[in-house]
Structure 1
Amino acid sequence: MLSPSSTEVVRATLPVIGAAIDDITPVFYRRMFAAHPDLERDLFNRGNQAQGDQQRALAGAIAAYATLLVADGGPDPQQVLARIAHKHASLGITEDQYPIVHEHLFAAIVEVLGDAVTAEVAAAWDEVYWHLANALIAIERELYAATGVADGEVWRTLVVRRRVQESPDTVSFVLGSPDGGPLPPWRPGQYVSVAVRLPDGARQIRQYSLTGGQAPDEWAITVKAVPGHRDGDSIAPAGEVSNFVHLNLFEGDELAVSAPFGDMVLDTSDAPLVLISAGIGVTPMLGMLRHLREEGSTREVLVIHADRSPARHAHRQELKELVAALPGARLQRWYEDLGLRAPEDVLALGRVDLAAVELPAGARVYLCGPQPFMASTRDALVERGVDSDRIHYEVFGPDTWLASA
């Protein structure tokens, strides 16, 4: 915990720091990338930086952590760190990178707040930062040890064994070791990072859920191409890595892939399960359903999926077959456009309406899809009486609703 004096200073200055955090984080990234351009080129997601998503996610994480740290009798602040630590581990983040962040973050705080940052305020927030950093370092060290690798040494070279077009804009890749050797075990719901070298020389990294290969020596991922598009008043850039992979990765090609990480993993109890996904968010659910099928599970499982249309639903037939193979499972689908032939088991046209769904009592719920979809679905689940600690979610990209989840 923080020292008593720092706790009081942080509690008193949190409204000011919190109000300014959205101004501080862009200055922080500008300073850090100017001093370390390799971090922007080879580690951080340039698309998220361009849109400001990473800045908003960092601001939310800092504000949420500091708020919990000084709260009286609140939840453990380390509860907000597991997802960040898994993401860091999948990128190969190491302890020696935290002082770099510290240097430029505090320079940004001083630049934005000026004389308001007294020595006492700086010392208190310095304590907050190292409380956060040391907690993350400890979790990440445990993750590396559990994975059986040295800190940050998460990368291996795999070869594409098969490439399959799953829908007009999604492709799955089955990956294996060049020598045909075994791959590390993974838990249903986890993901791997994929690193590619782009034409301009940048090494960009993205995360993709493991959907499960056909053999123990295979991993499978699915990648959705992301075109540039208008998002509200701004233009969202095209997906650098996803589009590069679609155009350039084929059977026999090599790919840099991390060890598996991710904290949204399948519960191993006998509790009922509700798996809710939209679009490409179906991928971690496929990994969970494959695992349940392989172990001959009889658990009650409700699978809910939303998509634009049957034609754009990646892994549509596979999802149906996996559910059909589980005696306790049922599938409900929503499509915004059914076309001329509506599949018989589609529940409704339009967006998911949980008010029309009978939820199993005591279920553990897993969410994956666009963040607005997950946020609204989570709110609907809570309104239905589902305890928030039984709702688990996965976010690919900056977790901009961390503070409210």
Structure 2
Amino acid sequence: MAIEVSPLPLPRSADPSKFTEFGREVKGVNPGTLTPEEFKEIEQLLYKHSALLFRNTDLTPEQQYALTKAFDPTADSYGHGNNKTGETKKSILHPDLKTIPHVPQVQLIGNGTVYNHEGLAEAKLKHPSHTTFHKTRVSEEDEARGVTRFYRWHIDAALYDLSPPRVTTLYGISIPKGSKQVCRYDDDTGDELEVPLGTTAFVSGKTMFDILPSEFKSLAVRSRVKYMPHPYIWMTPAHAKSTGLGIETEGLEAPMDELPPWEESKVKVFPVLWKNPVTGNLHFEVHPCGVCELFVDPLPQGAKREGALYPDGAHITDLGTVRDTLYKMQRPAIAPSLVYPHDWHEKDLFLFHNRGVLHSVVGAFKPDQVRAFHQCNLAASDDPVGPNAEDVKKWA
């Protein structure tokens, strides 16, 4: 049977014109037992469409690891380092992940207590909630009525020492059902989005760049961001914005002298735009919570200077300015009409191009609602590639 693809079902809130290339459901192939020829076709589809969905899939942790690894055959360690999140109790990621003992590259995530699962006698899982991370929270009364928020828009990446994974695979094992929730932005725009319970929300990094006005396109194509060493420990005491898109600047981050030992050579500096290896498109890929500095190259010779931002280049070290600049550039792309909130079913396998999208946990579960997923991504064998000289000339 030939591989069949069809568009993902979009919610009423989505603007179909912005999703013509994003996301495909794949049928006619077993993702756990792909032939080399089938994998090559799947690989091309993923980079072209950013996300692939396989329904009713039986997938072992070993198969999920093998599938994820096929996108980067020399990669072998979980994206944050095998077992590293569990050992780093100060990390904001610590409560969210449990490692599968016999396949340490695969993590068990979800909510509630899971028993006798893949070598784990008992695993207490915690669904991340905006109530513990945002500066403000929805009221308990609103929460009881199903009002919620995006938790944290991000890329799956350690952002220190290790390179960002190319692909993340998510496999739904136990999916509690419940009423839809309303994701509220609470940023004075009035924006809100109806979402399935426990959705994972995605936005396209390509769209994030495409919709920018010309002055921000020019800034993006000329810029690089520097991430803090051990950023998930650094950000833990701080508070996120109500949209989940970055951190409020309140001076609450962990002091540098309280971070674990670190080396300057392992600090990550990445382009703001990452080049798709198949399409050549530029994707705006910044994890706003971990950024501390912004480097801007000057305009290339002959570029129009009128209206340009930082035409002579800049090295921006003021944290508030860095965050405000990135927020202005990224916030338009999380508008309700540009978000794909996936409606999870048991045995859904969802693959996404981690270097082409941003995503967020959404919603809240009650303690007795058991949810279990297997997640796999692998620290890549290389760093992302940014714009080339022609891209800079075109957009600057």
Interval containing the TM-score (normalised by the shorter chain): under 0.3
TM-score if structure 2 supplies the norm length? 0.27
Structure with the higher fraction of residues in helix conformation: 1
Structure whose alpha-carbon radius of gyration is higher: 1
